[in-house]
Structure 1
Amino acid sequence: MSTTLQPAPSTATELPPVAPPRGSLTWRTVRDALPASLRKLDPRRMWRVPVMFVVEVGAALTTVLAVVDPSVFAWVIAVWLWITVLFATLAEAVAESRGRAQASSLRATQRTTTARKVQGTADQLAYGSGLASLPTVEVASSQLHVGDLVVVTAGETIPGDGDVVEGVASVDESAITGESAPVIRESGGDRTAVTGGTTVLSDQIVVRITAEPGRTFVDRMIALVEGSERQKTPNEIALNVLLASLTIIFLLAVATLQPMAVYSHARQSLVVLVALLVCLIPTTIGALLSAIGIAGMDRLVQRNVLAMSGRAVEAAGDVDVLLLDKTGTITYGNRRASELLPAPGVEAGHLAEAAQLSSLADETPEGRSIVDLTQTAYGRPVLTDDALAGATLVPFSAATRMSGVDLPGRPDDGGAPQARRVRKGAASVVHQWVRSTGGEPTGGTAGHPAGHPLVGQAVDADVESVSAQGGTPLVVAEQIGDAPARLLGVVHLKDVVKEGLVERFAELRAMGIRTVMVTGDNKVTARVIADEAGVDDVLAEATPEDKLALIRREQKGGKLVAMAGDGTNDAPALAQADVGVAMSTGTTAAKEAGNMVDLDSDPTKLIEIVGIGKQLLITRGALTTFSIANDVAKYFAIIPAMFVLAFPQLHVLNVMHLHSPQSAITSAIVFNALVIVALIPLALRGVRYRAVSAVALLRRNLWIYGLGGLVAPFVGIKLIDLVVSLVPGLR
């Protein structure tokens, strides 16, 4: 068997910037969404959006008026009012269609499969061993119920959501997560949950079903990505109330305007009054509001995060405190070799060679990282079978806490071969091994070159220094022939902070978000890692009760808290947190407690989720600002047009120098419709998010979307007027 070693694969998690996928509006997208947008014109559905319901009623009224008293002006206004309503429903339909393709692929995993249901008495079916040996009966997966036990072997599809209660297996979850690498699922830990529709690749497991047919995890995903279960969020409801209130106010204003117009001998037609009302009410944000919310959840789905409600997405945007596990989130899952500390009189190259040899039989991630370090930082070659001919590998075990290799020998100065034994492990066990060979590791000169009487003390000092820094020291020693073993130096294992996290934490700090690292390590180790990563605070030696108490304490202070977890012991804290992100690989209890599930089981994604939530809120606020601002230009277009004949002095308000009253009103209505479709891509893509303070963000929105919303209509309406004025009947 070859023992050739390759460098350990990098496990760095790249953290892409929080920027949404591009949301272009193509003809194909519009074509696919058009039937759904036409169905949404049903008044029984439209009344839920008061602003657009008023526009639809106005469109119907102007259509009737155009039939009763036909004119080019009346028909143009009627047609463009219907187009305005259609563009509003189109925005929502396009947003929903983006999730439909993913829902179709998920639905493909829901084929009915045959399940081998375990039969037996209640005592036999209780948790324990030997479940796979009980008799089974084949049933359709649609006939399984909560609590049923099924046996799944290599090559078979898991028939429903459940927990592994016996066995361990490699599972292909690519149909659900899109990740091609298989995952391990086993009983008795935090990686017991399995999803229906995934495939077992090896071995055999017994699964206890935890969801009824039609209510599985995939069913919930399909319903959510299709928008059929999307409930309006509190902020969205509040904005809808505001828009409805403004609509009622402007409706009353327009209704009372006619008596004043009659009194002034400037009676207005109902078509003009309807046009005025539509231009006054905030139609732009009313048309895009639903699409913004759907697109926000869709951005999470594209990152393989399932939000159980829009409320959770919004809460992520308002988070004040982030609780992050140290291991696997801030640092890599295992400690890595970072440096070699040679003993006095020992060359660094010699220590690197011994560390590499003694780690050949250490299959732990730490052991592989030592081999990787010796190859990359010290230039040690990859060892081949020939170089290790006759060698006896001593594998690492939790019992011995040591690994090594026994080499058959090499020529000494006289040419006679001498056996060589190399060991690496915890300081105490390596010291014990050195003593067993007749050496004295803690002091003296036994086995060491002359002139270096304090080698043992120097190694001990390095061990203490590494420990004080929060690292793990491993001591390397060797024995040549029958001579006493000697210490060669120390390997420094440390928690390595993931690349890019320092910058990301700085961004969060700029947003006013406080980060808290949660770890079971002692306070000294925790503080070292926290300082290196740039985390604001630390909860060391944390228990589940400590996490829950911290979240409640922050919430009592008016803070919103987000955290990620995967184990049953995380369930209370996930349920208490305002944003609880459960890992898909975790237990059923954790997934039920959280309000989001990360299908990639990447805890660092919590940072991206916060960014997506903030982007949703920013997009909604920016487009609301734009919508209200661009109404100002419409006032300058329509009000002078309505009364300029009765009051010629109002001509000074015609700052855009529009051609005629009819062309002015028509241009305002056309712009009102076109601006909706122009903003659909921005609503789907989202306003670009930057980690800045709330004051800077408000200033940016006012300059870009406030000033932009004020200027754009003046330009747009004027350009449209130049075209409209060429149409007979609108001059």
Structure 2
Amino acid sequence: MSSAYSMAGVGSVGSVCSADSAGFEDAPAQGSPAQDGPASTPAGDGGPGKRSVSFGAMLAAALPGALRKFDPRAMWHNPVMFIVWVGAAFLTLVGIAQIFDMEMRQGEPIYFTWLVAACLWATVLFANLAESVAEGRGKAQADALRKTRTTTPARRVVGYDETADPDARGPEHGEGPSYIEEIPSSDLRLGDVVVVAEGDLIPGDGDIISGIASVDESAITGESAPVIRESGGDRSAVTGGTRVLSDRIVMRITQKPGESFVDKMIALVEGANRQKTPNEIALNVLLSSLTIIFLVVVLSLNAQAGAVGASVSLTVLLALLVCLIPTTIGALLSAIGIAGMDRLVQRNVLATSGRAIEAAGDVTTLLLDKTGTITYGNRQASAFHPLPGVEQSALVRAAALSSLADSTPEGQSIVALAERMGVHVGEVPGAQPVAFTAETRMSGLDLPGGERIRKGATSAIEAWIAAEGATVEQGVIDAMRDRVDAVSRQGGTPLVVAEQAADRAMRVLGVVQLKDVVKEGLRERFDDLRAMGIRTVMVTGDNPLTAKAIAKEAGVDDFIAEAKPEDKLAYIKAEQAKGQLVAMTGDGTNDAPALAQSDVGVAMNSGTSAAKEAGNMVDLDSDPTKLIDIVRIGKQLLITRGALTTFSIANDIAKYFAIIPAMFMDRFPGLSALNIMGLHSSLSAVLSAVIFNAVIIVALIPLALKGVDYRAESGERLLGRNLKVYGLGGIVAPFVGIWAIDLFVRLIPGL
């Protein structure tokens, strides 16, 4: 993975609902990668649709969508709420019939059936509101994204020749073997080559095949700082609707019309393409089964009452059925899933499937690239280690002189460290700098008197010594290698400094230690992951000694040193063969196989199109550390679903024991002893329970949207906490709520 990712952070995390960040206090929003510009805007600033909205305003905005969902063709997809809808419709018809048929009232006030029917309609409305609020939270962002999708002019290259510049032969006039024609961006097709100049909007998704440019991606990410995109690397992908701020690029279109990244994101945030995950389907089956069980219970209850000469009206039976079936979780289930995807979108992560989010919650192995994820990626000089018999000042001076022509961050850090140690070097008149190159892996300086200084990798310096025909005592070589090994064991990168005198005599002075700094706070976050039962694996191209030292300092569980693309793929397959779920990040074409194989593959938006197609999530901020937060969001989604399911089932059981004694105490006075809440009458008890059943859904919508506060604990402790908080809460809440509502309901005449 590219070392371009040099800062830790969660990335731009705009929030439509201020409660969204609950449970993530230890993961503050920080900047995007340093190479991509300065830190992000604060949460709530900048990006499309990223603003705080009150809960009341969210409900009002979602009301039209909730009313549209009353269509039975939409309702039947939620079996539990469909039964409530049928019950409400049936009682409405019964209420109309009771106006004309006094016997149908069975001694109940005429308005009792209407009140219960109204409460059932309210229950359906509140369930639809929960889903509509969750769906509507991405509308503002979708509208902003849709504006970037408008048709723009595109300069398509006809007869593109990779060996020549398409602008070099008067292309506007169609001269030469290739030329440029201007067409609407909607006419572009997969594989077309287009030229985008300074100030132009990029007409579609693609990969840069020539050039480098500064690009404004604020329409997509909400970040005002421009980013660098260039050909030939892992930052070659560009997104349609973004703007080129400088220079000129030639790019190849990689998506068909209507299938661009922006199109996919609009579909996601609007929930148009969201399908139920296997977990949701299984839970729906469970809720349907519970509904059938309670339906049988209610029917048998009526039969038992009739056997002893007591009758129960249809209104009461339907009210009791609705109170007992799991309407709470049935109403909130879709909202929980949509909100989970929305939390990712608000953190600038696009999940192409709901399964990926659930898989993130069950991940057991996390593959993290070292450079830019665990470390900052910019190695800095941290110490000078002279060999025996060499003055440290001599080593420092030689290292600084050899770095004058080294423009890399490592070389400049050596000069800076030397100056902090009191050794100041300036330009030497007549000296010839030797620049660092990837081939020689050395830099240096040739002084006027014939002295030459070199600094570089151990093997490069040894090769230079051999090429010069010089000899160095074996004891010096052994001492040098000891220093190199010691630096490597500490997780540093060793650079050897040597000088050749005018008489060709060679002298090795010592070793400069470079250190890639581990990001602050990662050890604690890895401890949290370990508490969840997740193994962290560092992937690096470093040698095993360096990799082991950095892995120990960062606190990861395992590492893969000198890793090649096939090594990542093999490791993932081996973990999956053990029954583990694996997550990883990647940005290059060589990462695509591993991203496709992993259960959660997070591709960087700055990476290649192949990587983004292979992964099932795309991080718009291109921040590899966000993988940790994706796992937390996935776990929070599963925990929220489990907590509210526990609350709902406990709620139903409590309502059964809360209202059954009150329902029959008029006919069986002996049951009054079980009416521990002192409910006024059987009718007031039923109506209070129905009202509570509707109101509790609204009360739980904010919790479904923001998610249950997440703590890094083992599964057993999380289950125990949920049973205590939500299980016990689900039992207590109906007793308190129904009793409080009954205090007002009893004031209605006739009840």
- Fold similarity call, TM over 0.5: yes
Q: 1:37 to 1:557 in 2, by over 3 A?
A: same
Deviation, structure 1 residue 350? 6.6
Residue 73 of structure 1 aligns with which residue?
112
Separation in structure 1 between the aligned mates of residue 280 and residue 5 of structure 2, nearest angstrom? 43
Determine if contact 1:442/1:456 at 8 Å carries over to the other structure: yes
Code of the residue aligned with 2:60 in structure 1: it is R
Deviation, structure 1 residue 455? 7.5
Code of the residue aligned with 1:629 in structure 2: it is A
Residue 47 of structure 1 aligns with which residue?
76
- Structure 1: segments with no counterpart, 5+ residues: 1-8, 409-417, 444-453
Tell whether 2:436 aligns with 1:396. yes
Moved more, 427-436 or 699-708: 427-436
User: What are the residue-to-residue correspondences of 1:25-40 with 2, within 5 Å?
Assistant: 26-40=55-69
Residue 283 of structure 1 aligns with which residue?
327
Determine if contact 2:20/2:705 at 8 Å carries over to the other structure: no
Code of the residue aligned with 1:279 in structure 2: it is C
Q: 1:473 to 1:187 in 2, by over 3 A?
A: same
Deviation, structure 1 residue 289? 0.4
Code of the residue aligned with 2:262 in structure 1: it is V
Determine if contact 2:396/2:423 at 8 Å carries over to the other structure: no
Q: 1:85 to 1:441 in 2, by over 3 A?
A: same
Separation in structure 2 between the aligned mates of residue 312 and residue 35 of structure 1, nearest angstrom? 30
Cα deviation digits, residues 69-125 of structure 1 (max 9, x gap): 3623222212221111111111111111111111112112112111111112xxx55
Identify which of 557, 560, 567 aligns with 2:588.
567
Q: 1:464 to 1:323 in 2, by over 3 A?
A: closer
Residue 412 of structure 1 aligns with which residue?
none
Tell whether 2:559 aligns with 1:520. no
Secondary structure, counterpart of 1:327 in structure 2: coil
User: What are the residue-to-residue correspondences of 1:116-265 with 2, within 5 Å?
Assistant: 116-120=155-159, 124-125=160-161, 128-133=163-168, 134-265=178-309
Cα deviation digits, residues 183-222 of structure 1 (max 9, x gap): 3333333322211111222222211111122110100000
Code of the residue aligned with 1:218 in structure 2: it is V
Code of the residue aligned with 2:548 in structure 1: it is R
Identify which of 4, 9, 14 aligns with 1:14.
9
Code of the residue aligned with 2:456 in structure 1: it is G
Cα deviation digits, residues 564-609 of structure 1 (max 9, x gap): 2122222222112111111112221111111111111222211111
Separation in structure 2 between the aligned mates of residue 729 and residue 407 of structure 1, nearest angstrom? 107
Residue 113 of structure 1 aligns with which residue?
152
Determine if contact 1:119/1:136 at 8 Å carries over to the other structure: yes
Residue 598 of structure 1 aligns with which residue?
619
Separation in structure 1 between the aligned mates of residue 209 and residue 8 of structure 2, nearest angstrom? 31
Tell whether 2:341 aligns with 1:297. yes
Determine if contact 2:5/2:373 at 8 Å carries over to the other structure: no
Residue 425 of structure 1 aligns with which residue?
456
Deviation, structure 1 residue 163? 1.4
Q: 1:483 to 1:147 in 2, by over 3 A?
A: closer
Q: 1:240 to 1:200 in 2, by over 3 A?
A: same
Code of the residue aligned with 2:658 in structure 1: it is A
Secondary structure, counterpart of 1:69 in structure 2: helix
Cα deviation digits, residues 23-77 of structure 1 (max 9, x gap): 9852211111111111111111011111111111112222222333362322221
Separation in structure 2 between the aligned mates of residue 40 and residue 369 of structure 1, nearest angstrom? 63
Cα deviation digits, residues 398-419 of structure 1 (max 9, x gap): 34533356899xxxxxxxxx99
Code of the residue aligned with 1:403 in structure 2: it is S
Code of the residue aligned with 2:146 in structure 1: it is R
Separation in structure 2 between the aligned mates of residue 391 and residue 37 of structure 1, nearest angstrom? 80
Code of the residue aligned with 2:21 in structure 1: it is P
Residue 686 of structure 1 aligns with which residue?
707
User: What are the residue-to-residue correspondences of 1:582-661 with 2, within 5 Å?
Assistant: 582-661=603-682
Determine if contact 2:491/2:549 at 8 Å carries over to the other structure: yes
Separation in structure 2 between the aligned mates of residue 95 and residue 148 of structure 1, nearest angstrom? 38
User: What are the residue-to-residue correspondences of 1:332-411 with 2, within 5 Å?
Assistant: 332-344=376-388, 352=396, 355-356=399-400, 358-371=402-415, 373-374=417-418, 378=420, 394-404=434-444
Determine if contact 1:113/1:140 at 8 Å carries over to the other structure: yes
Determine if contact 1:397/1:403 at 8 Å carries over to the other structure: yes
Residue 529 of structure 1 aligns with which residue?
550
Cα deviation digits, residues 230-287 of structure 1 (max 9, x gap): 1100000110111111112222322333333223222111111111011000111011
Code of the residue aligned with 2:287 in structure 1: it is L
Identify which of 670, 673, 682 aligns with 2:691.
670
Secondary structure, counterpart of 1:616 in structure 2: helix
Separation in structure 2 between the aligned mates of residue 396 and residue 468 of structure 1, nearest angstrom? 25
Separation in structure 1 between the aligned mates of residue 444 and residue 653 of structure 2, nearest angstrom? 79
Identify which of 709, 719, 725 aligns with 2:740.
719
Secondary structure, counterpart of 1:228 in structure 2: coil
Separation in structure 2 between the aligned mates of residue 531 and residue 194 of structure 1, nearest angstrom? 37
Identify which of 551, 554, 563 aligns with 1:542.
563
Residue 84 of structure 1 aligns with which residue?
123
Residue 56 of structure 1 aligns with which residue?
85
TM-score, length-normalised on structure 1?
0.87
Moved more, 305-314 or 494-503: 494-503
Identify which of 489, 496, 500 aligns with 2:521.
500
Separation in structure 2 between the aligned mates of residue 318 and residue 676 of structure 1, nearest angstrom? 28
Code of the residue aligned with 2:140 in structure 1: it is A
Deviation, structure 1 residue 610? 1.0
Separation in structure 2 between the aligned mates of residue 426 and residue 563 of structure 1, nearest angstrom? 31
- Structure 2: segments with no counterpart, 5+ residues: 14-18, 23-51, 100-109, 169-177
Determine if contact 1:51/1:244 at 8 Å carries over to the other structure: yes
Determine if contact 1:426/1:473 at 8 Å carries over to the other structure: yes
Moved more, 531-540 or 697-706: 531-540
Cα deviation digits, residues 337-362 of structure 1 (max 9, x gap): 23222445666567556545543432
Secondary structure, counterpart of 1:13 in structure 2: coil
Separation in structure 1 between the aligned mates of residue 82 and residue 5 of structure 2, nearest angstrom? 56
Moved more, 53-62 or 137-146: 53-62
Q: 1:437 to 1:545 in 2, by over 3 A?
A: closer
Determine if contact 1:316/1:614 at 8 Å carries over to the other structure: yes
Moved more, 491-500 or 617-626: 491-500
Determine if contact 2:63/2:129 at 8 Å carries over to the other structure: yes
Determine if contact 1:352/1:380 at 8 Å carries over to the other structure: no
Deviation, structure 1 residue 641? 2.4
Moved more, 127-136 or 341-350: 341-350
Secondary structure, counterpart of 1:333 in structure 2: coil
Secondary structure, counterpart of 1:497 in structure 2: coil
Separation in structure 2 between the aligned mates of residue 642 and residue 382 of structure 1, nearest angstrom? 92
Code of the residue aligned with 2:495 in structure 1: it is L
RMSD of the alignment, in Å? 3.2
Separation in structure 1 between the aligned mates of residue 259 and residue 747 of structure 2, nearest angstrom? 60
Q: 1:213 to 1:380 in 2, by over 3 A?
A: farther
Separation in structure 1 between the aligned mates of residue 12 and residue 651 of structure 2, nearest angstrom? 32
Separation in structure 1 between the aligned mates of residue 323 and residue 337 of structure 2, nearest angstrom? 24
Aligned positions, number: 694
